[in-house]
Copies of this chain bind each other. A is one copy, B any other.
Amino acid sequence: MLTKSHIKLITSLHQKKFRQQEQLFVVEGIKGVKEFLNSEFKLHLLFSTDAIFDAETILVSEKELQKISGLKSPNTAVAIFNIPTILPNAQEKKNSESNGLIVALDDVRDPGNLGTIIRLCDWFGIKNLVCSNATVDCYNSKVVQATMGSLARVDVQYTDLETYIKDYNHDVFGTFMDGHEIYSQNLPDCGMIVMGNEANGISESIEKLITKKLSVPKFGDLKATESLNVATATAIILSEFKRS
């Protein structure tokens, strides 16, 4: 049965403060909930209008689901999962951090952009996403929604990005207007790709730590848009790194 304290808890989890305090976050919709149930994330509570999940379910009416959903058109289920204290696949993470590609975000603020970038990391087999502390919280419900379940498979960590990069031993890539044209570069299997803030790009302090500047060439006339959205730029860059 859905209780008042359930409603209060779910509502509170829309705020980062309470997500951190409770170490819980909300996942909505059949697909997203199933992805997290199949992952190493631990279920806290599951509310659904149907008993279709292989997990203990608190059955609710459509009207009750509406009350606890953050969506205009709620889709069957709202679940609460535990925020992992130790990242689910910590060993695998360490291995891939030293061997593979890492994406690092320098203050990406838009939840939709972060969610899309997590989904892209998942698609391109990138296990580790390192975020500056000012980057939007990946357990924000809009981010979780935009990842379409991919958050269950990509390790996201928040840290002081400058310190993190200083301790990193491979090439650090970033895109700049005056960088080397990405299409003609030999891109390695191992390295860090830094993506910048929506309005300001990569910050000055981080720019100093970039070892290889790249650019995505613009086609068409000179008046054309002077920047790509950070998520679409990430798509193009990851595709280039992986295609070769």
Contacts and interface: CB of A to CB of B under 8 A. Distances in A.
Contact of A148 (B225, B235, B242): B225
A134 B219 CA distance: 29
Contacts of A8: none
A149 to B, nearest CB: 7
Choose among A227, A231, A243 the residue with the greatest number of B CB atoms under 10 Å from its CB: A243
A153 B224 contact: yes
A119 interface: yes
**Copy number of this protein in the oligomer?**
2
Contacts of A17: none
Contacts of A219: 123-125, 242
Interface residues of A, number: 38
A67 interface: no
A125 B225 contact: no
A207 to B, nearest CB: 22
A223 interface: yes
27 contacts: A116-B229, A119-B228, A119-B232, A120-B228, A122-B224, A122-B225, A123-B219, A125-B219, A125-B220, A125-B224, A148-B225, A148-B227, A149-B225, A150-B225, A153-B221, A153-B223, A153-B225, A216-B239, A219-B242, A228-B235, A229-B231, A232-B232, A232-B234, A235-B235, A236-B236, A236-B239, A239-B240
